[in-house]
Structure formats: C-alpha cells, structure tokens
Homo-oligomer: A and B are copies of this chain.
Amino acid sequence: MWAAGGRAALALGLALAAGAAALALGLGRALAARRRARREVLFFPSPPRCTEALLAQAEAPGAAPRPCPCPLPHGESSLGRLLRHLLSARRSLDLCLFAFSSPQLGRAVRLLHRRGVRVRVLTDAQYMALRGSQIGPLRLAGIPVRHDQESGYMHHKFAVVDGRLLITGSLNWTTQAIQNNRENVLVTDDAEYVTAFLDEFERIWEEYNPANYAFFPQGHNGSSTSTAKGRVRRATAKPESVQGG
C-alpha cells in the first residue's frame, strides 16, 4: 500500500514540480524579453565626427573599407548612433520632422529609398522651404512628402524604422541642433510607444493628403463657405504643395 501510494505521490510531486518549473521558465523568458526591450537615449550636442565610413559602407556594403582622409576625428557619436539606427531599416521608414537640413541624415534617407525601403516624410510647410532644407532633394529623389496646411507648426521630430523602432525627442534634424544645441533623442522598441506614434503618423498622413487641400480660405471672394474637395483648384498651389505627395 505505502509503496504504491509512495510511488504515486512521487509521480504527482515530480509532475507538480515539472509544471511549476515550466511555468517559472516561461515567465523568466517573458521577463528577459521585456528586459531586452531597447531603451537608449542619445544626448546632444554631438561633437563633429567623420560619418563618411558609416555612410560609404551602407552605400556599398560589399566594397573594401577605405580609410577616410578627412581631418575630423573618427569614433562614436550621438549622430553616428542615430545614423546606424536609421540605416538598420529594411522595409519602411516613416519620418515626421519639423526641420530637416542635416546633409548626413538626408544622404542616409535617400540611400534607404534607393535600397527599396518605403520612405514617407511628413513635415512643416514653412520650415521645409528654408535654405538648406533636405525636403527638396528628398522629393527630387522620388520620396513622397506631405506637409501641413495649418497655422500651427508640424513640430514632431520622430522616426519609425520598420514599424518596430521609435526614434523621438527634442532634436530637429539640422546641423545646428546636432552640433550646438542641448538635445535628446529616445530610441525604443517598446510596442506601446511604437504603436502610438505609428497611429499618429497614419492620422497625420491622411490629414495632409493633398487631395484634401483647400486652396481658398472659407468664404473667399464671396463664395459659400463650403470649401469641399470638389472645389479645390490644384493649379493655384505653390509647386511644393503638389509634388511627391
């Protein structure tokens, strides 16, 4: 009796232990996965560093690395980290940027577009027209750009890489900001944050659809106030307003 009971109890105990151990293992893995969630902060100003090697390698992945003869110091920098995160894109890059004039960042984005990554850009109508803006070269390269038609600024400064990595902060993508300002950029693949910003991107992308533009203010030249899509006259728009959108 005891022997049979003992064996049954042992079997039950071992089964319980195995079950609990499996549960602990599963939870441990889930916890480790959460710990692995990327959390990175880049602070600026970023001291000038040569980014030529990084960009050249991305442009010609198979080529032998050439030492860059420029006098700038080499090595890591916040700009270098930002470039690496962008260049990790394989499928999509969604940019929502108030001001974009950094030549290095512009070069990286055009490179991704040539590589077949689906790039979309949302930006501010006033700032995109400033001298040195990268928005023109991006549109020339065939990248779709949409902008606001509002009195307020499109003041976001974020990017989403492959729908999985959020890059956001105070940094406008300008050389002035990168080299001289106190700035921060958070990098995270936390799904809650990524989803919230992707939703915001899609919302604004639709709102800035050029098909919705109203080129006359409501009630302009005595007409009714119904400035519906049907009344939009594209030909009156500034050239920038209808390109690439």
Report the interface size for chain A: residues with CB under 8 A from the other chain: 59
Contacting A182 at CB < 8 Å: which of B5, B41, B154? B154
Q: Which residues of A (8-47) have their CB < 8 Å from a CB of B?
A: 9-14, 16-17, 19-21, 23-24, 27-28, 30-31, 34-35, 39, 41, 43, 45
Could you tell me the distance between the alpha carbons of A239 and B190 in the complex, rounded to whole angstroms?
45
Quick one: given A31-B27, A204-B182, are A176 and B193 in contact (CB under 8 Å)?
A: no
B168-A156 in contact (CB<8A):
no
Could you tell me the distance between the alpha carbons of A158 and B182 in the complex, rounded to whole angstroms?
12
Q: Which among A75-83, A144-152, A229-237 touches the partner chain?
A: A144-152
A100 at the interface (CB under 8 A from B): no
Could you tell me the distance between the alpha carbons of A7 and B156 in the complex, rounded to whole angstroms?
68
Contacting A34 at CB < 8 Å: which of B21, B34, B183? B34
Copies of this subunit:
2
What residue of chain B has the Cβ atom nearest to residue A190's Cβ? B39
B10-A6 in contact (CB<8A):
yes
A197 at the interface (CB under 8 A from B): yes
Contacting A13 at CB < 8 Å: which of B9, B28, B45? B9
Contacting A197 at CB < 8 Å: which of B30, B41, B154? B41
Contacting A151 at CB < 8 Å: which of B34, B180, B192? B180
Could you tell me the distance between the alpha carbons of A192 and B41 in the complex, rounded to whole angstroms?
9
Contact indicator per residue, chain A 86-107, by CB within 8 Å of chain B (1) or not (0): 0000000000001000000000
A98 to B: closest C-beta gap in Å: 7
A74 at the interface (CB under 8 A from B): no
Max chain B Cβ within 10 angstroms of own Cβ: one of A9, A27, A182: A182
Could you tell me the distance between the alpha carbons of A186 and B186 in the complex, rounded to whole angstroms?
10
| Seed contacts A5-B6, A27-B31, A152-B180; 14 additional CB < 8 Å A-B pairs | A6-B7, A9-B13, A13-B14, A13-B16, A14-B16, A16-B20, A19-B20, A21-B23, A39-B193, A43-B196, A152-B176, A152-B179, A153-B180, A156-B183
